[in-house]
Structure 1
Amino acid sequence: MNRIFSKLHVGSLIQSNAIYSRDLASATLITQTKAKLPKPTPNAFALFLKTKFRKGTSMVGLAKEWKSSSDKEKKKFTEEAAKLRKEAIAQFEKLPKKEQQEQLVEAAKSRADLKNSRAYYQFLKDTNCPTPALNAIAIFSQEKYRANRLRHFFAYNAVEEFQNLSEEEKKPYVEKFNQQAEAYKSAYEKWYKDHGEDYEKLKK
């Protein structure tokens, strides 16, 4: 959990649709020195989340709570974020210049890899790449818990329940999987014929 929040920043939350307000994003940014670090330190909002987040908590709700907090309430998180960044810079500057450069290069490579990964998945989305068929257990789980908003919490139960079904009871789900798998194979072959060349370039 600490590792997650130590890397958390407002930009990533916006991209994941957890925060929808540009005003909120600008409100959580901290004025920091221009010293470069391989990895960003947590900002004030990330530290606020660390103290508030619990399993099942709404990120949008927490974002609204942060936005409505007074400047005084935000100040302790802002000061803590500035302190953490200052300490991180001090630790980084103690490293030999060669090691500093190696870490910066590695961080830049990671960012480039992430950018390429996003381009790859965006390409699949833009070209309507078919998605693989759900297996029989997933189909069973989806149908059984379709109306339940917390259906993802029942995944383990669904596996056990499916395993306890008789072969005859499993048959409809297996047949649906086979039908979907055949449809996927046909759709993918057509998609690859149209977009395969560009797809292979992105994979390299």
Structure 2
Amino acid sequence: MHATLRALAVELVAEIGHLDRRISAAGEQITTAVAATGSSLTELYGIGPLLAGKILVRVGTAARFRSAAAFASYNGTAPIEVSSGDVVRHRLSRAGDRQLNHALHIMAITQLAGDTTGRAYYPRKRAAGKSHKEALRCLKRRLSDVVYQQLVHDTESTMAAGLGGQQGAALESSATGLHPNTGTSDQSLPRLADPDATPKSRST
């Protein structure tokens, strides 16, 4: 009995080691593919190569969206108002690309853990009466604007260089400051100049 259990344990450890090597190799391939697109998403705090790869594959090109508001609607961060009387509330939208929404969620959580503008933005929303979930949704909505603007910037840079702007397609083939006075509406933000928002992140 003990010999059988030991043999199974050895087999499982070997399998885990094999899977770990495959994951590492895939991660390296995605990192290389993201770098090949010329994307600057990894300059945003909370976005590493793997998360950038997911965003690029899900989005394709920023030209698909007419505005930051359209992008927020696509990724499900645009809030839905559920007001009652004098109380104005917003609830989570279940629509949109959930994988892209999850990528923005990871970015938001990472920003909250670091010394970032996102972390400074969150307590202001809590102080304004928002619950934790509501404040987090507000942050994700702001970060959606930031990511959209970065995608637009990259697309414009790529087009200016005469490379066509097919970042998402190329990746898929290769890898098979938050404004304190802005609400949670469809208003967009200027490009962040805050250095806290642009260091390269180790997050994936």
Q: TM-score, normalised to structure 1's length?
A: 0.29
Instruction: Flag the structure with higher helix content.
Output: 1
Q: TM-score, normalised to structure 2's length?
A: 0.29
Q: Which has the larger radius of gyration?
A: 1
Which structure would you say has the larger RCO, counting Cα contacts within 8 Å and 6 or more residues apart?
Answer: 2
